Structure 1
Amino acid sequence: MTEEKRIPLASVGFTSDEARQAATDSYYLEELDRQAELAINSIYLAVMRGRDTKDPRDPKVWGALQNTLFAAICIARLLKPSIVKKPYHSSMTKQQSQQFADDRGKKLRDMLNVEDDCHILDVKAVRDAYEHYDEYFDRHLAGGAECFSDWYITDRNVLKTPPDQGTPSKAVGIRVFYPAGGILLFEDRMLHLFELEVELIELRVKIADALEEVNAKITGRALFGGHILEPVMTEQRAQQRFMEWQHRRAEALEELAKRKK
């Protein structure tokens, strides 16, 4: 058996309020940096592979784009929280929870000098559309759409939905990626990936500086304890599941290959 991976553990419990707040800030900053790194790597992969691929629906490109959207919205929500749906704790009201989130977002934006018009916060419109694409499909189909131009990488041109002239369009254009110009589209919504990626790199620089400052304030004894160490399953069961997965996967891929000929 190989050496087990170390389980990361971070404490935000300290005897002084300053140290506790600094540790909390550090925890948020580390998460922002983690998600920013994921988004940066995914944008670069999508653009560079998207420029070279001959497949307009290259799954690796689209996988990288979806990963970009997920990581970017994680960052956006930490920096500018959405509406809190329920109280964070039994001792808090929904309004108090919203204020808690808003205060956290404002503090992080101030620490990192994030402006309201930055592309990082602009990701929501495109990301939300990609998540709720089924609603757009249903809406167009209910309106009598007969042709879809969707989910493709383009070298230059885009097939768009004709402008509304009083009757629903029979032709619909939805999700498009233009890697040469660094643009991800969802109908008329546009995400500028080049600008987003540079801002994320610059954000990581600011995070590094902020972490150096806040970590210097973390002093004193850290409080730990309370976790319960519990195996997910026995090693025997894990090995059994792995072998079963490999077998079923091979069978499923074989059946898929037959139908893709």
Structure 2
Amino acid sequence: MKKVIKIVISLMMILLIGVTVLFQMMRYQADASVTTDGAIKTNYGWHVDVKDESGAPIIFYQGALVDAKAYLPLAKALSKGHKDVYIIDAPLDLPIFARKQAEAIIKAEQRTQLIVMGHSLGGVVASQVATENKQVVGLALLASYPSEQTDVSQLNYPVLSLYGTNDKVLNSQNWTDALKRLPSTAEVKVIDGGNHAQFGNYGPQKGDGTAEISTEAQQQIVADKVNAIFK
């Protein structure tokens, strides 16, 4: 019996190692060019702290299987609008496992207002957070939309949706169908030449279109639009 148990445990360990290796192969790591200068590593992810803060801080949810660090360049661009930016580093790089982190940051940082943003699956989670927390005063979705179970159409604050014309990952039909779950006042920004992956810095994404603008240019458009709408 002991021998059988040892064999089972060994097989489970092999399976666990195999799953771990497969998961690591599927993940999108931050580009080597991404630096942590100006960012603070925290127990929830990354914090870009500005000294002259004058607007509500941003809580950002990463895309599925994307290294949270890959969004630091975007976070730094956003912080130029005098906003602190908190990037959630979700377990297994899956933002659905970190929905409650926004509440934890609100309590820990004693925040009374915040803007929630998310890329791809992170935007789905950000939409949920927006409906669950009265401190939220803005919602920005990058190549994303609220799920069928989440209706943000009654939100009475600015909502922004951005996507690139060369995005081949975003399901355009689902995005169109989801428009009815956004407020009638929601603003949509189409980024000419932008794609799905360039909202972060993690290289090409499987199934995505080829961008016709640089990653820096795409992210600057995002930062400019967000900072213009969310004062």
TM-score of Structure 1 vs Structure 2, range by shorter chain: under 0.3
Higher strand proportion: 2
TM-score (norm 1): 0.22
TM-score (norm 2): 0.24
Higher helix proportion: 1
Whichever of the two has the greater Rg, that structure is 1
